[in-house]
Amino acid sequence: MTILPVLRMGHPTLLAVAEPVGDPTTPQIRRLALDMIETMHAEEGIGIAAPQVGRSLRLIVVLPIEERGAAGDVDAIEPLVLADPVLEPVGDAVEEAVEGCLSIPGLRGQVPRPARVRWRARDLDGEELGGEAGGLFARILQHEVDHLDGILYPMRMNDLRSLAFVDAVEAAGSNEAGAPEGAKP
């Protein structure tokens, strides 16, 4: 497996709508998925999308974590590889929480998202997967699927005053808007 370079905000690939994977059972897609898992772990993330590693494909890797406290030992959590994921909000409830991004290192901000989502995708064997997610897992799914549509989390923020550098918030001794809580999606 290879640790891939993570593209940073400003790269055109991060702003493009990604292409469907098609057949997720190919050796090329399997290799990309394994490299994405390795990269996500190396970067201490809890999710990563193919566009973040320079591949404009609708492929994401996510850790199915329900709560922030559960993100302690991310290496012990089996990642899900999802090809061509589709999300649908469940209900009208919206929650705001702090997010970060491997493609926007050092920054965090408050992002509103649907509290629950229904999801479906295919795994690397071509099998249909799906379910309903809430909490942190719903947020991770939405964050990563946004990458497939060329959306970065600051584009979802209602109030850019909560966008902050982690080190500045820590230096101020605050645990407010931009403060990190656990690993970054």
Residues acting as catalytic residues: 144
CB 77 within 8 A of CB 23: no
> CB-based burial of residue 141 (10 Å sphere; 0-12 exposed, 13-18 middle, 19+ buried)?
buried
Both tokens assigned to 87: 């999300």
List Cα–Cα distances, 126 to 49, 83, 90, in angstroms.
18, 9, 25
User: Are 154 and 104 contacting, i.e. CB atoms less than 8 angstroms apart?
Assistant: yes
